Amino acid sequence: MNKIKEIQLRRATVADAEAIAAIRIEGWRTTYRGMIPDSYLDEMDMNENVLHWRTILQALPAKEDSLCVYVAVSEDEIVGFVSAMKLPEPKLGKDGEINAIYIRPQWQRCGIGKRMSHKAARSLQAMGCTSCVIWVIDGNAQARNFYEELGGEILIEQDFSWDGLDLTEVGYGWNDLNVMLASADALPFPRAMQ
């Protein structure tokens, strides 16, 4: 049995690109099956995703003044990651964005998302942000419920195109990052994962 206290959050490095890419692909294949064509999910390219994340991680500033990426680690295994950035220009009136939060399916609903959201909000505050937006595909009920538990409010629902797929995304926002922090602190930690 793995207890949540065994999870460590640390800054991601270039060496983590493959694990991050694998978690993202696994997350899409598990979460979006039935919402996105199977052919798209089955053909997600690992090498392309690794290259994408390697490029991002190589560009991370030494000081987290505009972008951060953290990984959640249990016994040397990366089980999740979160990425947040200070927006160059406000989006929907928000100055920060959590642009990725993924957890391996077998590690979901055990408190890692809460800890990663808390870390992302604190990092955004350290970058000078006071507010935040996060995007989710409309049919992802689990993520939507989580963002609502964290005090996020729906800002917009809009159609968008991703790799030739016509989808609907929902933008959740926090006018005050302290609301996200307080909501994350208020969420109970499960005792343990089965």
Q: What is the model's pLDDT at position 38?
A: 95
Q: What is the model's pLDDT at position 26?
A: 96
- Hey, CA dihedral for 46, 51, 53, 57, is it positive or negative? positive
Model pTM score = 0.91
Q: Which two tokens stand for residue 187?
A: 């969420």
Domains of the chain by residue range: 4-186
Q: What is the CATH code for 4-186? A: 3.40.630.30
Q: What is the model's pLDDT at position 189?
A: 59
In order along the chain (194 residues), what is the average pLDDT of each group of 10 residues?
68 97 96 93 96 94 87 95 97 96 92 93 96 96 95 96 91 96 78 41
Q: What is the model's pLDDT at position 191?
A: 45
Distance CA 128, CA 18 (A): 30
